[in-house]
Amino acid sequence: MTTPIPQPPGVPFLGNIKDVDPGNTWWSLKSLAEKYGEIFKIKVLGHEIVFVASAALAEEICDEKRFRKYVGGPIVEIRYTVHDSLFAAYHHEESWGVAHRIIAPLLSPEAVAEHFDEVLLCTQELISKWKSRGADQKFQPLKELNNLSLETTALTLLGKKLDCINAPQEHPVVRAMEDATSEAMKRPNRPKLLNWLVYGGKFKRATKTLRGFAAECVAHRNQHSTGRQDLLWALMNATDPETGKKLTDEQVIDEIVTMPIGSSTAPCALTSMVLYLLRNPQVVVKAREELDRVVGGRTGALKREHIPQLDYVQGIVRETLRLSNAAPGFNIEPIPKKGDTSPVLLQGGKYQIAHNQPMIIVLAGVNRDPAVFEDPLEFRPERMMGESFEKLPAGVKKWFGNGKRACIGKHWAWEFLMVVTAKLIQEIDFEVVDEDYVLKQDGWFNVRPIDFYVKAKARV
């Protein structure tokens, strides 16, 4: 006999609309996971969604023989901006395979390693800015790390220097990404008429900015041919080895827009990492001992061959990904079976869902599963190193999604996170502004600390 899936009480007609804050969706889901445990469901405006928040259940529904990515809700809404690009394409659309086969070779570990010097260049530019700033001047690291991420994405993948690291404000593309993704998250829970009458303008403006930026990148490459065979070159020129097709001009724009959206989770994770390090100074001491040994003190030159040798820094990055949930979850559904509408069983029959039931993995629950992690709220890089890391179940290693629809830029993200983390620890001393700061998060496609200020100076 199956166990009923828990559900908050809700209100008549509207269901659980009050249980999820549309301006802070993932924080609401984190709170529900803490209250209801490994699995729960809500119903909003007649739509029922099941949420998974344990490592064991996450691992089960990541079995690609039984389940697949669910393209619905906010992902459908963001198609207004990115069309049928990689992360928004339906399973039946040929465009996904064509784009994936063209793009994947340019984001392999070997291809990403070729851009190491460019990642380091951008990172060093930000560090120089922080060193030259007055040590008593407070700032929000998130805003400046957002610009760093966009600058690095544009330079490494699109061959274009934006010069936004030293800009006084966030780049307009950063604001447009936030506006577009926040709207995509909120629109499914609003009446369509309200979306059209009240909120349509914001969505259109954000989309125009993002697609305009992508068009400028293409125009810049056409006007300044450099001989680079980078990702932008592939988008504009490469042919799919399986079908012989190239991307259309519009599809090139679609995929360029997805790149900064996808990489926008990295600065969110890095901002959380700064907070964790401030609260765990012993971690900084251990990391600096490793960096001094491998790289050579605070003035040592970080090189590509150093990255695999920085075991403790790798542990810091993994533990940051575990706790920060910068990419907070992803959608799953049972693979349809023609003519079969029988219920799908989970955990050997403990739970039962409909044959077409959408599910969302809530990483804030999965990655804090007490069945896997001792003291799951503690920041402990050691548990994400070596044999300890290898022994962890696959369900708690889904920071970049799952299977063939996982983040195609995961190797780029790892390289970026490792370089920035290593250089910040090596060269910067941070000081917290508010000793009583309580973590507050918001976010839509990604999650980040808000109202978090620090001071920074060159490492003593």
Binding site feature residues = 407
- The CA distance from 361 to 330, in Å, is 6
63 close to 353: Cβ distance less than 8 angstroms: no
Under a CB-based contact definition with an 8 Å cutoff, are residues 426 and 300 in contact?
yes
The bridge status of strand 359-362 relative to strand 329-334 is antiparallel
Can you say whether the dihedral through the CA atoms of 368, 374, 378, 382 is positive or negative?
negative
Please enumerate, by residue number, every residue annotated as part of a binding site for heme.
407
Phi, psi angles (nearest 5°) of residue 332 = -135, 150
How do strand 344-346 and strand 67-69 relate by DSSP bridges?
A: unpaired
Amino acid identity of residue 200, one-letter, is: G
Which residue reads 């979850």 in tokens? Answer: 329
Bridge partners of 443? 447
Count CB atoms within 10 A of the CB of residue 12. Answer: 5
Structure tokens, 434:
């508010």
Q: Which residue has the tokens 């922080």?
A: 130
Tokens in use for 158?
């699109």
β-partners of residue 432 are: 454
- 109 Cβ contact partners less than 8 Å away, ≥ 6 residues apart: 411
In this structure, what token pair is assigned to residue 3? 């166990």
DSSP state of 19: G
Look up residue 103 and give its two tokens: 């793009």
- Burial 167-196, CB ≥16 within 10 A → b, else e: eeebbebbebbbbbbbbbbbbbbeeeeebe
